[in-house]
Structure 1
Amino acid sequence: MAVETDPVKIMKQEVGKTAASRVSSGAIVGLGTGSTTAYAIESLGNRLQSGDLKDIVGVPTSFQAEVLAKQYGIPLTTLDAIDRIDVAIDGADEVDPQKNLIKGGGAAHTREKVVDSLAAEFIVVVDSGKLVDRLGSTFLLPVEVIPMAVTPVMRAIEKLGGKPELRMGIKKAGPVVTDQGNLVIDVKFEAIDNPIELEKTLNNLPGVLENGLFVGVANTILVGEIKDGKPTVREIA
């Protein structure tokens, strides 16, 4: 295996490793989606293989997480078969000073919210570029919608002051389709002053399944940074 030299990738690996090191033997682990979380899943697999970690099972939040878990030898289970999740590890697209998040860059936020909200501890893995003073300042807010409701939901979002656009596929003709078979509307809000109210308001629109605001769900934020050319990880508890 080639030795990684890209400082950004090394930093993501370090954040993933740090998160994976918080998992104890016998734990039920929520496995998030995204590039940094992928390193955490890889690290969990390595710990299992070395015997450092025993008897963990994972609950994947996406097809991506499921494929990676299988690749790295992490046994999987479903929410039907368990009564708790001890820890979930997942990324975020934005994190505000109150540890509220915007997620959904990978269009997996609905499953992620189910799993991350159930976890006794939810560890968020990000790089420092994801830290913002206010949610919505750098990232559009994803809203998952059943296909028949796209147009009325977009009209309703415009009335709420948002600028909605249907997320289109890359290397795929047509829109992005979620693991649930739905579509994603990305919304620009000039300011998200009250994330908890906006989360509820959007989820009450008929046809909306879930949106990417995660309010009061995260416990620990692990932030990867590059200082003097070296990757470091700091914790916001």
Structure 2
Amino acid sequence: MTSRAPSDEHARWKRDAAEHAAEWVRSGMVVGLGAGSTADFALRSIASRLASGALFDVLGVPCSRAVGDAAARLGVPLTTLEAHPVVDLTIDGADEVDPTFALLKGAGGALLHEKIVAQASRREVIVVDASKPSPCIGTRCALPVEVVPFGWRAEALYLESLGARVRVRSGASGAPFRTDEDNLILDCELGPIRAAHELSRRLAERAGIVEHGLFLDLATDLVIAGADGVRHLTRADEGART
């Protein structure tokens, strides 16, 4: 087993990946603002370029209330999908990503809004540090499943019938975590998810399941930063750029 890099090094990798992707933001764009620590570096880079005048006429669609609050504090103008239903470019993070660009997301609890924005985006750019790529999603992370509070135990039993070890996510106070839509998150340990599309279909059939953290066929670009620098992979050409 390899040792983990120091936290400051991981933070630098996250910043490098995010700032690389933020350079693709152009004046006049509607930009999806992802949630999470890596996407936050991209938000700060966009804000800095707006403040310096290098960018102008950019509107952000935040993927969570917290991201919207942060963007407002940094001076990034905001809009909504109701006003701008097509997003030019979204920059977001991921908890795990496999070689086919399948993603596992939702550790921060914003998976529903993140997926809605991703589906509305012409280009979905995922920025990660070198610890996030995985041979198969689910290998390292539990799958978050967002459920309505009514009848959540029935959904937990269903998830257990699929082989998951299920726990209700807790918030900072110890009470159940609530999403921006006031739903619950069930974190499901499944191990490597080798039939992700089939699992996605089965989860979608359940009325009480609002959304899940399988992001399939959505990412167009993957930016990975690590000790060897920054790599840019695209689903279109499966190539790499620096």
Q: TM-score normalized by structure 2?
A: 0.91
Does structure 1 conserve the Cα–Cα contact (< 8 Å) formed by 2:85 and 2:120?
Answer: no
Does structure 1 conserve the Cα–Cα contact (< 8 Å) formed by 2:166 and 2:186?
Answer: yes
**2:25 matched to which residue of 1?**
23
SS in 1 for 2:198: helix
**2:34 matched to which residue of 1?**
32
**2:190 matched to which residue of 1?**
189
**1:42 matched to which residue of 2?**
44
What is the CA-CA distance between 1:160 and the residue it aligns to? 1.4
Look up the equivalent residue of 2:199 and give its one-letter code: L
SS in 2 for 1:156: helix
**2:231 matched to which residue of 1?**
234
Does structure 1 conserve the Cα–Cα contact (< 8 Å) formed by 2:140 and 2:191?
Answer: no
Once superposed, what is the RMSD of the aligned Cα atoms? 1.2
**1:89 matched to which residue of 2?**
91
| Partner Cα separation in structure 2 for residue 70 and residue 21 of structure 1 | 20
Does structure 1 conserve the Cα–Cα contact (< 8 Å) formed by 2:35 and 2:108?
Answer: yes
| Partner Cα separation in structure 2 for residue 116 and residue 135 of structure 1 | 19
SS in 2 for 1:74: coil
Residue deviations 1:79-121 (CA, integer Å, cap 9, x gap)? 1111410000000000000001000000100000000111000
| Partner Cα separation in structure 2 for residue 173 and residue 96 of structure 1 | 32
**2:75 matched to which residue of 1?**
73
Runs of 4+ deviating beyond 4 Å: none
| Partner Cα separation in structure 2 for residue 190 and residue 65 of structure 1 | 30
| Partner Cα separation in structure 2 for residue 134 and residue 78 of structure 1 | 34
Q: Which runs of 5+ in 1 are unaligned?
A: none
SS in 2 for 1:22: coil
SS in 1 for 2:82: helix
What is the CA-CA distance between 1:133 and the residue it aligns to? 0.4
What is the CA-CA distance between 1:217 and the residue it aligns to? 0.2
Residue deviations 1:55-83 (CA, integer Å, cap 9, x gap)? 01000000121012112111000111114
Look up the equivalent residue of 2:179 and give its one-letter code: T
| Partner Cα separation in structure 2 for residue 70 and residue 6 of structure 1 | 27
What is the CA-CA distance between 1:205 and the residue it aligns to? 1.2
| Partner Cα separation in structure 2 for residue 6 and residue 95 of structure 1 | 22
Structure 1 segment 144-223 matched on structure 2, within 5 A: 144-170=146-172, 172-223=173-224
SS in 2 for 1:40: helix
Q: Which runs of 5+ in 2 are unaligned?
A: 1-6, 235-242
Residue deviations 1:181-232 (CA, integer Å, cap 9, x gap)? 00000001133111111112112112110000000000001011024xxxx2
Does structure 2 conserve the Cα–Cα contact (< 8 Å) formed by 1:8 and 1:226?
Answer: no
What is the CA-CA distance between 1:233 and the residue it aligns to? 1.3
Residue identity (%) = 38
Query: Structure 2 vs 1, CA of residues 185 and 83 (structure 1 numbering), >3 Å: closer, same or farther?
Result: closer
**1:134 matched to which residue of 2?**
136
**Equivalenced residues, count:** 228
